[in-house]
Structure 1
Amino acid sequence: MIKVHQITKEFNGIRAVENVSLEINNNSVTSFIGPNGSGKSTLIKLILGLIAPTSGNVEHPSTASSGYKIGYMPEISGLPTGYTGLDILKKHKYLLGYSNDQHIQSLIEIFDMNSFLKKKFKGFSKGMQKKIGFLLAFAGSPDLVILDEPFEGIDTIDRDRLNLFIKEYTTNGRSAILSSHILYDMDEITDQALFLKNGKVMINYNPKLIGSNSKTPINIEQNPSDHGVPNNVILPNPTITDIYRALYK
């Protein structure tokens, strides 16, 4: 389990993430939802330890002694354009020291990558670049995988394939964090949805309560009207898309 305690990050006095607390449970998918600039990527970097918080802290078992592994796919890959996809995979494999070739080959087939792995990265489409990112993130069989905007630039077939893989992968104690403003089928794979706005968690929601005995509505305070009165919207048993449309109008 990963615990985030009242974490805040400021850049030049501007708060990109403000007082966020959450728990990432095993066997679960947590989705960070919000438009560009809402703080999703900054929160991910704080969880990974790539940047230091202004205040607050993150607790997770990712230490050398524990053997806990994290796989990460950034929104922008930054991979060397002069190498082929196969070259990148070999270098990644060498640097991280994993040796499960059968697992890697199964990922190549799942993400349908055989047709372009021998091409140079600079000639890859957006979708091909994302597939390489998926492969590298999952290649070491991590306990936690973090995917920043994974659905951007890929088609419906590949999104379905990735969603199914994530659902199957997050078992046996493994978990995933997704960051996305593309909401296609997010309800089906998400156990916990955090809706971010201006660096704050506006709503922490479990979409799988829909259709269960829980009938708790979501009360959303939108931007004030012309008279300065908040516009409250009550959504009974909403989907992630319902909340997104109401919250980010």
Structure 2
Amino acid sequence: MLYLQATNLEKKYGNRHIVKGINLEIKDNEILGVIGPNGAGKSTCLELLIGLKERDGGTIQYFLEDFKENIGVQLQASSFFPGLSVSENLKLFGAFYKRNVNKYELNDILLKCRLTESANTEASKLSGGQQKRLAIAITLIHQPKLVFLDEPTAALDPISRKEIQALIRQVNNEGRTVVFTSHDMEEVGHIADRIIFINKGKIICEGEPKILIAEHEVTNLESLYIKLVSKEGVEC
């Protein structure tokens, strides 16, 4: 089942062409990794898909019923109130979604995101990894079917990255689709069912990680990416 289909997406900032004719689909119950170097257009593409920015061209078809009510979004900027505790943030964001979060739901999301012991801690006093987990918890508070995460492990230590990766898998195992951006090829290879390579605003390759690695006769995704971006007009 398709949740979303984008065709020929375009975005410009003045003379800068950030997104160039991108075509993509998002499917039910998958983990989709959108990868590429800094400045490739990953975050802008995500913002176009969720309607945060207006596109300059192309179309987006939404097949998920009540799309805006059924998505959770974590952008790179902090999405919580630093002066409120973890629990207060979750209750407040629940109210934004017109959802009265009861104690059982609150305890469940705290446990899932490994924030139980920090429930009464101000968000500003959390570690970087805890703040990332709080941001993800907020995206899940209204139980969306489709979750967008923009570089959820950026600037984290290896242990915190592993915790976020495990959380993404758990969210997907609950029947949700997760779309996340990253420039960490190893990370994407570990958790994504399907990947999209973006470079200079274009999709240069997409598919299942293991199949792509085998087809292009490389040892890992990083080697594949280097191979792809070094060629002009490569198709995959």
Secondary structure at the aligned position of 2:117 is classed as coil
The residue aligned with 2:77 is 76
- Equivalents in 1 of 2:201, 2:103: separation in Å? 40
Point out the structure with max Rg over C-alpha: 1
Alignment pair present for 1:162 and 2:156: no
Query: Quick check: 2:133–2:164 contact (8 Å CA) kept in 1?
Result: no
- Equivalents in 1 of 2:26, 2:219: separation in Å? 22
- Equivalents in 2 of 1:153, 1:210: separation in Å? 28
Question: How has the CA–CA distance of structure 1 residues 96 and 146 changed in structure 2, closer, same or farther, with 3 Å as cutoff?
Answer: same
Give the structure-2-normalised TM-score.
Answer: 0.84
User: What's the CA shift for 1:135?
Assistant: 0.5
- Equivalents in 2 of 1:67, 1:194: separation in Å? 23
| Map 1:168-183 → 2, pairs under 5 A | 168-171=170-173, 174-183=176-185
**Of 243, 246, 249, which aligns to 2:224?**
243
Structure 2 residues without counterparts, runs of 5 or longer = 231-236
Give the structure-1-normalised TM-score.
Answer: 0.80
Secondary structure at the aligned position of 1:185 is classed as helix
Q: CA RMSD in A?
A: 2.5
- Equivalents in 2 of 1:172, 1:90: separation in Å? 22
Structure 1 counterpart of 2:47, one-letter code: K
| Map 1:13-28 → 2, pairs under 5 A | 13-28=15-30
Question: How has the CA–CA distance of structure 1 residues 106 and 155 changed in structure 2, closer, same or farther, with 3 Å as cutoff?
Answer: farther
Structure 1 residues without counterparts, runs of 5 or longer = 218-235
The residue aligned with 1:97 is 98
Query: Quick check: 1:130–1:153 contact (8 Å CA) kept in 2?
Result: no
Aligned residue pairs total 227
Greater helix share, 1 or 2? 2
